[in-house]
Amino acid sequence: VITIDADLQDDVTAIYEMVAKYNQGFDVVYGVRSSRQTDTFFKRRSALAFYSLMKHMGVDMVPNSADYRLMSKRAVTALLKFKERNLFLRGMVPLVGYPSAKVLYERKERFAGESKYPLSKMIRFAFDGISSFSTVPIRMIMSLGFLVILISIFFLIFTLVQWMRGAVISGWSSLMISIWFLGGVQLVCVSVIGEYVGKIFKETKQRPRFTIEKDDFTPKFK
């Protein structure tokens, strides 16, 4: 199976090389852009930022590869075992795990029409990818909560020093320390709940734990 966008920008002659890679034993062949010269400066920078962000979030993706790819029958069958409904295919296909290769090609200018992916859709696309594959944002909230608690401890020390010097307004110290400390505790509590929700989130996806590439087991006894 070969998937390709309908805007005629992907080079169809790369299909020959994809099929050659398939005949060499690769089950997944990614069409990868050799450059982004046809993109605007903003599109190039935002694309690089997107792939860098996804990598830091723990999402395994092939940079500069969209939906132009070849997949063998068994790779497609393995992909269909993923039961989730919010499909982020760029992150799901690498999870199949079969041997893969890349084919570089030069993307052409758009033949007709305009891009259907403005900035708002790109941001939504990135959010879908992160929320479908990563629980890192939950841990970031927990880190933020501990940071706020540390700031509240610093405020506690600072206000005690100011109180001993007699340079504080009555009630200001307790109010500021309470706000910062309780805010940090709330963030930590929310992130702890989020950890449990994240585990439920992963369980409900019911993704296959592994994919058997080759089975050489032959029973000795009937």
Residue-range domain boundaries for the chain: 2-133, 136-205
For residue 10, what are its two tokens?
Answer: 């992907």
For residue 170, what are its two tokens?
Answer: 């009555």
Residue 211 has a pLDDT of 76
Residue 219 has a pLDDT of 60
Q: Which of 66, 69, 58 is nearest to 139 (CA)?
A: 58
Name 71's bridge partners: 28
Residue 113 has a pLDDT of 64
Residue 92 has a pLDDT of 80
Reported pTM: 0.65
Q: What is the mean pLDDT of each run of 10 residues along the chain (222 residues)?
A: 83 87 89 73 71 74 81 88 78 83 80 66 74 75 80 78 70 72 79 79 74 68 52
The owner of tokens 């940071």 is 147
| Alpha helices, H only, the chain | 14-23, 41-56, 73-79, 89-92, 119-133, 136-165, 172-205
The owner of tokens 């993923």 is 82
